[in-house]
A and B are shown apart, each in its own frame.
Chain A
Amino acid sequence: MASTKGTPLQFDLDDEDLKLFLEEAEEQIELLDQSLVQLEGEPDPALVQRIFRAAHTLKGSSATIGHKKMASLTHAMETVLDAVRQGRRAPTSDVVDALLAGLDALRVLANEVVTRVDSGIETERLEADLMAVLEGDGPAVALPEAPDVPVYQVPAGALECCWDDIEQGHGIYFVDVAIASDCQLPSIRCYQVLQEMESIGRLAACWPDRDVIEAGGGEYRMAGLLVTRQSEDQVAAALKAVSDVAAVRLRQVPPAEATAPIEGFRDEPQQPAAARQETGEARDEAPAEAQRGGNGRKASQSVRIDVERLDGLMNLVGELVIDRTRLQQVREQLSSVLRDASLSELMDNFEETTSHLARVTDELQEQIMRSRMLPVRSVLSRLPRLVRDVAVKCGKKVDLVTAGEETELDRSVIEEISDPLVHILRNAVDHGIESPEERRAAGKPETGTISVTAWNQETYIYLAVRDDGRGIDTAALRRKVVEKGLMTREAAEAATDDQVVQWIFMPGLSTAKQITDVSGRGVGMDIVRTNIERLNGQITVSSVQGKGTEVIIQLPLTLATTKALMVSANGTVYAIPLVSVTEALADHEADIHTVGGRKTLRLRHRLLPMIDLAAALGDTRPRMLPTDGYFVVAARHGDRQAAFIVDRLLGEQDVVVKSLGDMLGTRKGLTGATILGDGTLGLIVDIASLVTEQAAVAVPA
């Protein structure tokens, strides 16, 4: 077939529809991405159902806008998933592979709606693959077989106590309740359903038996014979209100038949609780999360908000925060001036108001910040697929363990952290984990383990990637650095192993023996570091030969504000991001030497060049250090450090980063400006560029 690549495409939708379509498509594709990998091996009916529905939804929406290729591909995927759902085909790895290939194509196809240009993707082949998989002789899997219609025996005399009510016109209902299959503690839900039924009417009989349910023996299904004056709808509504109840089915039983065995409802494929689906929340199967089911989890209610609006709100709050600080300063100034007794009441009033305003502003800032936070799960959930793909390509066996998915961080940070993390993981699989043979020879389990853990500490989020692979080969690194002429042999030999490990961040260095399409060509870790530092973060690596490697990324929770050390130099106030500051000390406490005519600070076995901050930034005004002593701020960028001379330390502050504007553009050594408490501006220092410029390589003391 002739390629149609580049042909303009037409779709039946206006801009508003387009937005809706893309949002939905993105959501469903994301869902597929997260769950398809889990499909392999364990055909959990609820999971299969969820995946099937996602494909079905995509099929519907793509057909609606007239995207024929997408509709046709999703139809093929749906057909395969339907076979899996009905147990006609086990989700073996070839099935999952074909579905994943289809999923990749779906992303491209969905994007065609934006570009309006044919991407030239050949869906026919993918569809053929899917159909081939379906016809392949993979084993049919025994999904739990639909049992015959259950029959419930009504115990003799069960209705004895109810006849009075029945004679007064109360109805007899057979009620069948299904608990959501992803509920962690069904027994508690059964007990709640039991209690609910008893509050509505008289429960003549119950399966499993009431004693069993009360003892915590309830499972995902229960039934009861309820005598009540309420209508069918009322009963159903009352029971559905119990958390995690997935379905309530009921049928009125004529009094004459109430003592005979009752035929139940036929089992149908169960759907997860509707509320859970809407939030798109991935299902937690880890037992550690079990306690969440116990306290009646509220389905979270959410509204989509344009990120720009949140950014706008955030900016406004930033200004409010500054006004608050200013107001507090005015209050302090006023209170020292106005000591007049007649004004004291007024002053109290003013103080009360300002401190209330301060509290509300803090709270507001916090809330808006929170509203921009997303669990890091959205990044971590993509990793299993990645690790699987890379491991297959490299012939490695790898288990990925993730923890701390609930850790939240600002969505702007989430967007930026994904690529570096992916890169680090590729490296871990490709370079870190050994081949199964090598591992066996080293007395390790054949399957390597990579863990990705996220956690919060103070105002930072940490992401740690650990592997139990071979570790970084420091001897090879030393050789490489010398070979590439990046360092002299003497310098390379003199460095400690800990220092050598840091060299993986050097530009133009790759330790892989061959160039692979997995880890690229040595443009990796230095770019990772650059990206992370652009976010005001830090990345560190440690490694034990033969045991494994650990990479830790430290990031601020939000990019909107940065914690900074405020200093003054030559009459200007500067903010130095705290993440770069290693130490700040007065000149008389500092161990200052003159080396080769340059002032040098000796700090913990390192010699740091001392740089006048104002001069380094290009301040050409006459410079006079304070006569009563100056201060030194040691700051680092990667493994480089320098000590900056400043006049005064002004304390720590949360600074809101503002751009210097287009007219001034980017200035050497500055990342922007921030508004100070007194309404004037301070300049935010870009430590990375200053330290790099001073080329301060560590010298053993």
Chain B
Amino acid sequence: MARFEAAPESTALPASEEHVVIFKLADEYYALDIQAVQEIVRMQTITSIPGADFWVEGITNLRGRVVPVIDLRKRCGVPASEYTPETRIVVVSSSTGMVGLIVDAVSEVMRIPGDQVEPPSAIVAGPENGYLRGVAKLEDRLVSLVDLEGVLPSSADDYGSFSRAA
């Protein structure tokens, strides 16, 4: 199933361009490498796991697969909000298997020219550097490029948190 191939681990930005999925969290735009995105589904029933970290929303059934779901607002320290009809689960494949990320909305798929991307340190300084690998300056807005492996805990034991609320 070629569909489920893991995303290439490229932190160095290709000179040419990046093919990304743009989603919204609060009023900011973020981008995920399209290679890592398996599918985007509407909000569906999530079974919470007692005792799990607060940002783990639970597990959900994705056509017979059990997929853990992370609330990206909670994970990134963005104040929680109600789910809306726009809320989506972006299912990505990572080194720890398939994971669902709850986002406020998915806006579009686009190609970002490499020369519009700058390292995050140039624009924001702070804990976000851990899960951002760059910021793209588009004409009308800024888009943060999410480092998938950085945003997910690498294993069950690694719960290093980098909450913005600190």
Residues of A in contact with B (beta carbons under 8 Å apart): 315, 318-319, 322, 572-573, 614, 617-621, 658-668, 670, 672-673, 675, 679-683
- A665–B66 Cα distance when bound, in Å, is 13
Contact A663 B152 (CB under 8 A): yes
A residues in contact with B64, CB < 8 Å: 315, 318-319, 322, 675
A residues in contact with B67, CB < 8 Å: 661
Instruction: Check A668/B157 contact, CB under 8 A, given A661-B66, A681-B66.
Output: no
Contact B61 A618 (CB under 8 A): no
A residues in contact with B153, CB < 8 Å: 663
Additional A-B contact list (16), CB under 8 Å, known A663-B68, A667-B52, A672-B66? A319-B64, A614-B50, A617-B51, A658-B66, A659-B66, A660-B49, A660-B66, A661-B67, A663-B94, A663-B96, A663-B97, A663-B153, A664-B68, A665-B155, A673-B47, A673-B66
Cβ distance B124 to chain A, nearest Cβ, rounded Å: 26
A residues in contact with B98, CB < 8 Å: 661
Which residues of B (60-81) have their CB < 8 Å from a CB of A? Answer: 60-61, 63-68
- A667–B65 Cα distance when bound, in Å, is 18
Contact B68 A661 (CB under 8 A): yes
Contact A662 B155 (CB under 8 A): yes
Contact B61 A665 (CB under 8 A): no
Cβ distance A319 to chain B, nearest Cβ, rounded Å: 4
Contact A572 B50 (CB under 8 A): yes
- Which one of A315, A322, A672, A683 has the greatest number of beta carbons of chain B within 10 Å? A683
* Residue from A322, A665, A673, A680 in contact with B45 in the complex, judged by beta carbons closer than 8 Å: A680
A residues in contact with B157, CB < 8 Å: 665
* Residue from A617, A662, A682 in contact with B96 in the complex, judged by beta carbons closer than 8 Å: A662
- Cβ of B89 < 8 Å from any Cβ of A? no
- A663–B151 Cα distance when bound, in Å, is 12
Residues of B in contact with A (beta carbons under 8 Å apart): 45, 47-52, 56, 59-61, 63-68, 94, 96-99, 152-153, 155-157
- A682–B50 Cα distance when bound, in Å, is 12
Q: Tally A-B pairs: CB < 8 A.
A: 83
Sample (30) of A-B pairs whose CB atoms are under 8 Å apart: A319-B63, A572-B48, A614-B50, A617-B51, A618-B50, A619-B50, A620-B50, A620-B51, A658-B66, A659-B66, A660-B59, A660-B66, A661-B66, A661-B67, A661-B97, A661-B99, A662-B97, A663-B94, A663-B97, A663-B99, A663-B153, A664-B52, A664-B56, A667-B49, A667-B51, A667-B52, A675-B66, A679-B45, A679-B61, A680-B45
Cβ distance B92 to chain A, nearest Cβ, rounded Å: 11
Q: Which residue of B lies closest to A613 (CB)?
A: B50
Cβ distance B68 to chain A, nearest Cβ, rounded Å: 5
Cβ distance A316 to chain B, nearest Cβ, rounded Å: 9
B residues in contact with A663, CB < 8 Å: 68, 94, 96-97, 99, 152-153, 155-156
Contact A681 B61 (CB under 8 A): yes
- A659–B64 Cα distance when bound, in Å, is 12
Contact B59 A664 (CB under 8 A): yes
* Residue from A620, A621, A668, A673 in contact with B59 in the complex, judged by beta carbons closer than 8 Å: A673
Cβ distance A89 to chain B, nearest Cβ, rounded Å: 60
Q: Which residue of B lies closest to A665 (CB)?
A: B156
- Which one of B50, B67, B94, B156 has the greatest number of beta carbons of chain A within 10 Å? B50
- A672–B68 Cα distance when bound, in Å, is 12
* Residue from B48, B51, B61, B68 in contact with A675 in the complex, judged by beta carbons closer than 8 Å: B61
B residues in contact with A682, CB < 8 Å: 47
- A525–B21 Cα distance when bound, in Å, is 56
B residues in contact with A668, CB < 8 Å: 51
B residues in contact with A621, CB < 8 Å: 48
* Residue from A322, A659, A664, A679 in contact with B49 in the complex, judged by beta carbons closer than 8 Å: A664
Cβ distance B42 to chain A, nearest Cβ, rounded Å: 14
Cβ distance A102 to chain B, nearest Cβ, rounded Å: 47
A residues in contact with B47, CB < 8 Å: 572-573, 673, 680-683
Q: Which residue of A lies closest to B95 (CB)?
A: A662
- A658–B52 Cα distance when bound, in Å, is 18
Query: Which 5 residue pairs of A and B lie closest in terms of their CB atoms, listed nearest first?
Result: A665-B156, A618-B51, A619-B50, A319-B64, A662-B96
- A455–B71 Cα distance when bound, in Å, is 50
Contact B49 A683 (CB under 8 A): yes
A residues in contact with B48, CB < 8 Å: 572, 621
- A659–B155 Cα distance when bound, in Å, is 15
- A336–B89 Cα distance when bound, in Å, is 33
